Each structure stands twice: as structure tokens, then as C-alpha cells.
Structure 1
Amino acid sequence: MDKVRIGIVGVGNMGSSHAGYLHEGGVRGGELAAICDSNPARLEWARQKFGDSVKLFDSVEALLTSGTIDAVLIATPHYDHPRTAIQAFEHGLHVLVEKPAGVYTKQVREMNEAWAKTDRKFGIMYNQRTNPIYQKLREMIASGELGEVRRTNWIITNWYRSQSYYDSGGWRATWEGEGGGVLLNQDPHQLDLWQWTVGMMPVRVRAFCQFGKYRKIEVEDDVTAYVEYENGATGLFVTTTGEAPGTNRFEVTGDRGKIVIEDGKLTFWRLRVPEPEFNSTFTGGFGAPECWKCEVPVKDDNDSQHKKITQNFVDHILKGTPLLAPGEEGIKGLTLSNAMHLSSWTDNWVDLPIDEELYYSNLQERIANSTMNKKSGGKTLSVEGTH
């Protein structure tokens, strides 16, 4: 095989973007071979945009059995991600799925198990993993430069969204249509990076979610979550779509200093002597380890992060290049958002791994008791439910 024929399922906001750079030859060894969408208007858009060079399908089954593709890029609403991926694996196709991996971990675990039974390649569109600043943070922590992690704090409150944004789609901001709010729509990248960069998942979570605090919606638009790690470290995650101006500050403290990512810069406050060593030898009444403020250089990178993930996925198929964002890892960030929901719903601590059946039953209860007069977009392939 010298090229990967890719079929995109769903050409809404993100699907159409993926189709664009693929059709323009932006991915070496990758070819836009087909598009699938249940919305006739989106298929007509694709016909006018790409002409006869791209095959069009109005059903997933027709696409998967067509013989025209080697891989699918799934850009449908959240609930459909695992279902479509499982179908693709059953037809012997490689899968690249948009984030989030799904709505609840039970369905994502089933997707991972379906993939594990095959020899197909599986990736997820965690494009922020290509961001040099987060790669540098991960490298510094993994190398021991920061020492043992003691605390993580991420304030990500610059996801401002107006009421008109939520009113723009019938699937938005409903338990049935999206399966969540800011945690599932805006924050999947940050939740993934939170665990990916520090190299560990929490062992328990206590969260306080506000549902429809700032907007007329039924899902969460304001969240404060506290987590604890196995090594004794603690963490805080604060997010909302209702504040302006917002903040995006990620801070990780270790026994050798502190790293902060904010305003596109990575700053390392490096202790000359590790804190435990200083503490064991210092005899004065007041004092602290000598600290050097270091602006860590991070290479500029203006290339499309989404395109980079797709390129890496194609290279993985053709050359065996290691995946930057393996699909099975999508369950990690989703576990964090599910745990935050469940903690708030039950007004209690949630241990990880979460009780998947308890989460699912609570979610179904909220869907059944919804008072929103919106129609679910869960079966519409044309809208990718993010951003």
C-alpha cells in the first residue's frame, strides 16, 4: 500500500475542514476518497466542492461496504463516535475518530475492545498533543526535570459561549444531543493534556458542576473539580463558558520547582536545590530554596494541528510510525469528565475507575427527565459536536 484512501463520516464544521486539507493534498500518502453524510445539503456541498473525484454516500453501511476506502475519519456527533468506529472495525477498516471518544466510558470501552480484536490502526484527533508547548511540558516532567509532581492546576475559563451559540443547533447543550456541556464539548483536549503531560491519572475526584448557571441550557457550563493522585499529589480543574475575559493557565508544581503555561509561554521556576533536600538541611527560622526563573524556549509551529494528527495516522498505517494519539487513550480524558459529572450528580467523591453502570443510569435519567424542547442531533451525521 502506497496511499491510504480515507472516507469522512460527517461533514459539518470539523468534517468539512478535514475534507479540505485532504483534498488539497495536505497529507502525504493520504487521499480523500469518499464522504458520507445523511444530510442531502451537505452531500450537495461536497459534490460542488470536490466534483467526481470523491465518492458520496448517504449511509454509513454503504460507505463501509463500498470497497472505496481503507480508513474512516469519524466527525459525527459524540454519541455516534463509538458506534461508527465499531462498524468500521468489523469491516476491516482503520479508524481515526474526532474527540471526544464518546459520551460515556462504557461505550468507549466497547469501542476499544472491538479494536483490540483486529489488526487495524486506531487514532483519535487529540490535535493539541502536537502543540510544542505541551510536548515540552510532558518531556520536562518525564525526564525528571521538575521532580515528583506535587500539584496540578488548570484554570481554563476562556471558552466563552453566548446563548445564541447554544440556540444555533438543536443538539447543543442537551443530555440527549451532546451528552454534556463544557466538559464534553470544549474541554476534551485539556482533560486529555492534563493526564498526558503529567503522566498519571487521579485516583479520585470531587467535583461541583453548575448546570445552566449562565445560559438557558440543561448541561454544565461551570465546573470546579478537585482530584487526588496515588503519589499524594492533588489537582484542580476550573472551567466555564460563562465568563469574560477568561483565563487559560496550566500550572504544575514538583519538588524541583514549578512550570506554568500561560499566554503561549512556558516558564520554569527552577529550584537550585530540591525542596526536600533544602528542608532537611536548612536550620534558619525563615527561608526558602533559591529559585531561578527560566523562560523555556519552545519552537514556533504554525502548521495545522489537525492535519498533523491525520498525517501521523497515515504514516502509522504506511510506515509504522508510532501514533501520537492512540485511539484507545480517548477513554482517559472521558473518564475525567464522567467522574466530574457523577461526583456532582451524587454529591460525593468518585473513585477511578468509575462505576460505568452508575454513570450510564444517571445519564439516562437526565435524558428521560429533560425539559428541553430541542431535538437530538444524535443521528445526524452532518454535525461534529465540538467547538
Structure 2
Amino acid sequence: MNLFKIGVIGIGNMGTSHIQRLLNKEIAGAAVTAVCDGREERLSLYRGSAEIDCFTDVDKFFNEADMDGVIIATPHYSHPELALKAFSKGLHVLLEKPAGVYTRNVLEMNEAAKESGKVFSLMYNQRTSPLYQKLRALIQAGEIGEIKRTNWIVTNWYRSQSYYDSSDWRATWSGEGGGVLLNQAPHQIDLWQWTTGLMPVKVQAFCKEGKNHDIEVEDEVTAFVEYENGATGVFITSTGEAPGTNRFEIAGDRGKLVVENDQLLFYRLTQSEREFNATFTGGFGEPECWKIEVPVYGESTEHKGIIQNWTDAVLNGAPLLSPGEEGVKGLEISNAIYLSSWMKEAVTLPLDADLYYEKLQEKIQGSTFTKKTVKNVILDVQGTH
């Protein structure tokens, strides 16, 4: 294969930007050959193009489009279902985040991906950041020793009411399946797990629904987690704070790493804290600490980088930066946060996938929320999440 032919299903905010990158030939070795959306006004942007076939019917798209792989950029609930269709047709898949709304069908999707042998990637574009790659490398190299605590405050996802009014599916249990946890914060939840290599074993969380906006889903979250090694963590996120904060701390036995303002700081201890604690006899002392500004080189290629990596994996066997199968990890964490908040108690992981699905259906069926205003517009690319 010399040219990777890509179809895009879902011409909303993200789908439109992916198509434009491909049309602009920003992705080496790839071209967009087909697009699909049930709304004719979205397809009208590409009608008449000699390069692109347009489809309103999903089955015709998968059966007739000339493509080797598909980018799925549709609302959240449809992600696993469409990925399953794609794998059954022998197509490579790049899936917009999140992997899905609940882990039960995401696990089914992962199994189908494995059986298909096709290249499956997820749009965790923050993994292209040299800063977070450096953070992960330092942790994996044991530079801070055993992790004791993680703490991420990410409240710079501010969204106005007009954002939520831009589409009828946004910020509803039936249309989106959640709020800030499922739409904005999946990037940080993934990085929280990916950089540290830790999955929680227990979660206690508090989700505030419609606290800052006229929506029925959560726009503010505080979660406390415990890890198998005894470490603890806190994750706080919101779309209703301005100005917001984005600060990630990882404390370990040999020091602390802090990411804030696009800078990585390493507070490096000259000896193990546990060793110092056991041997120091001076009362109020503490281990010697060096503050190091860690140099970070390179460019964060974001969505373009993930599409290029997926293309390179298909054409040349390059290793995936964001394997699709890993999407279930972040989703399990967010599902656990929801379930804990709904049940008002701590929940353990691995998560009871059937119980979560049952409670989500109760939220959907018990909803009495009606959107007052729906504008159905394509937002500026800067407001795509």
C-alpha cells in the first residue's frame, strides 16, 4: 500500500478539522476519499469534490466507500458500534475519544479489534506532548522512586452556556453520556494513568450536575483514589471556573514532579525519604532537595500527530503512540467516578461493568431535562471538545 485511503464518519467539530488536515495534505501517505454524515448540510461542504465520495447512509458508507481505514468522529455512544462495523469490513480504525460511554461494549470493541488484526488507534492527542512524554520517561526510569501521591487540578476547561447549546446531544445523559469527565477531561484522565502507570483500586467521588450551567450532566468533579501500593490521588476538574488551573503533581519516595504552565519541575531528593525518616535524629530536618527545571524539547503535534502515527503504523508498522485498546483504562476510571458519585459510596476496581450500565440507564430513563436552546452549529476548532 502506497497511499492510505481514509474515510471520515461524523462531520462535526473534530471530523471537519480531520478532513481539512487530510485535504491540505498535512498527513504524509494519506488522503481522504469518503465522508459520511446524516445531515446533508454538513455533506454539502464536500459535494462535487472529485476526491471525496459523500454518504448519508452508514451502511452504504461501509459497504461502498473506497477506503482502507476510517476516522470515527461521531457522538460518544456510537463509537464502539461503528468501530465494530469497521473491523467487520476489514478497516483500520482511528477513534475519537472517549472509547465509548461504558466499558461493557468497549471491551467487546477491543476484542473485535484484536481479532481483526487491523491497526486500532485512539485520539489521545495529548500523548504527543514532549512534556508528558518526558514526565512519563522520568517516572518509568524510577527517578522519583515509588509513587506516594498524585494530584491533578485541571479546571481550565472553561465552557460557556452557548457551547452547551451548540448541539442537541451535548451535555445530556442520552446524547453524550456525561459531561466534563467524558468530553473534556478524558485527555487528563488518560495522561494521569499513562504517565504514572497506575490504575486505581478504589474511588470515592463527588460529581456536581448542572452546577455552573443549564445542563443535566456534571460540570464539576472531585475524585479521591487509592492505588494498590497504598498511594493516593486526587483529580479535580470543572468547566465552570475562570481563570482555571492546570497543575499535575506526582510525589514519590525520591522527590516530586510538577507540571504547570507548560513547564516540568523536578524537586529531587538526594536520598530516599523513607531512608531519611528512619535514620535522621535531628527532629525537624528533612531530606536535601534540588529544584531542577527539566528541559523539554520538541513540538506537541496534537491531532495531526496521532493521525500521522496511525498512518505510519498502517503503512510501515510504526508502533502506536495511542493504541485503541488502552482507551478502556481511562473510561473505567471515569465510570468508577460516576458510579461512586451516584451511589454515594466508594467503589472498587476492576469495575462492575453491568452495574455501571444499569445505573447509567436509570439516569437516562429518569431524565426530565429539556434543552431550552439548541443552535446546531459547528464551533470554532479551538472549542472542539
* TM-score with structure 1 setting the length: 0.95
Partner of 2:149: 151
Deviation at 1:181, TM superposition (A): 0.5
Distance 1:120 1:67 in 2: 18
Question: What is the alpha-carbon distance in structure 2 between the residues aligned to residue 164 and residue 315 of structure 1?
Answer: 38
**Which residue, 217, 237, 250 being the options, matches 1:252?**
250
C-alpha displacement of 1:386: 5.5
1:285 maps to what in 2? 283
**3-state SS of the aligned residue for 1:160?**
coil
Q: What residue number does 1:90 align with?
A: 88
In the TM superposition, what whole-angstrom CA distance separates every residue of 1:275-300 from its partner, at most 9, and x where no partner exists?
11212221111100000000000114
Aligned residue for 1:203, secondary structure, equals strand
What does residue 175 of structure 1 align with? Answer: 173
CA shift for structure 1 position 228: 0.4
**1:308 aligned residue:** 305
Q: CA deviation at 1:168?
A: 2.0
Q: Which residue of structure 1 lines up, in the alignment, with residue 43 of structure 2?
A: 43
Q: For 2:14 and 2:275, how far apart are their aligned partners in 1?
A: 50
Partner of 2:318: 321
Q: CA deviation at 1:363?
A: 0.7
SS at match of 2:142: coil
Task: Show the counterpart of 2:105.
Answer: 107
Secondary structure of the 1:52 match is coil
Aligned to 2:9: 9
Name the Cα RMSD after superposition.
1.8
CA–CA distance in structure 2, aligned partners of residues 185 and 365 of structure 1 = 21
Cα distance, 1:165 vs. partner?
1.7
Residue 76 of structure 1 and its aligned partner are, at CA, apart by: 0.3
Answer whether contact 1:160 1:242 (CA < 8 A) is retained: yes
Unaligned segments of structure 1, at least 5 residues: none
Aligned residue in 2 for 1:23: 23
| Cα distance, 1:55 vs structure 2 | 1.2
Residues 126 and 187, structure 2, Cα contact 8 Å, conserved in 1: yes
The CA distance in 2 between the partners of 1:113 and 1:62, in whole Å, is 25
Name the SS of the counterpart of 1:108 in structure 2. helix
1:211-250 maps to which residues of 2 (within 5 A)?
A: 211-250=209-248
| Larger relative contact order (Cα-Cα within 8 Å, sequence gap ≥ 6) | 1
One-letter amino acid matched to 1:240: S
- Where 1:249 maps in the other structure, the secondary structure is strand
Runs ≥4 residues deviating over 6 A: 382-385
**Preserved CA contact (<8 Å) 1:35 1:55:** yes
Counterpart of 2:342 in structure 1 is 345
Tell me what 1:142 maps to. Answer: 140
Alpha-carbon distance in structure 1 between the residues aligned to 2:228 and 2:3? 44
The farther-off stretch of 123-132 and 108-117 is 108-117
TM-score scaled to structure 2, two decimals?
0.96
User: After alignment, is 126-135 or 158-167 more displaced?
Assistant: 158-167
Mapped to 2, the partners of 1:305 and 1:128 lie a distance apart of: 6
Q: Which amino acid aligns with 2:184?
A: Q
Distance 1:28 1:332 in 2: 30
Q: Please report how far the alpha carbon of residue 241 of structure 1 lies from its aligned counterpart in structure 2 after TM superposition.
A: 1.0
The answer as to whether partners of 1:171 and 1:374 remain within 8 angstroms in 2 is no
Q: Distance in 1 between matches of 2:384 and 2:20?
A: 18
Contact 1:222 1:240 in 2 (8 A): yes
User: Percentage identity across aligned positions?
Assistant: 59
Contact 2:53 2:65 in 1 (8 A): no
- Structure 1 CA distance, aligned partners of 2:146 and 2:283? 26
Structure 2 gaps, min length 5? none
Mapped to 2, the partners of 1:357 and 1:374 lie a distance apart of 29
Shift, 1:132, TM fit: 0.5
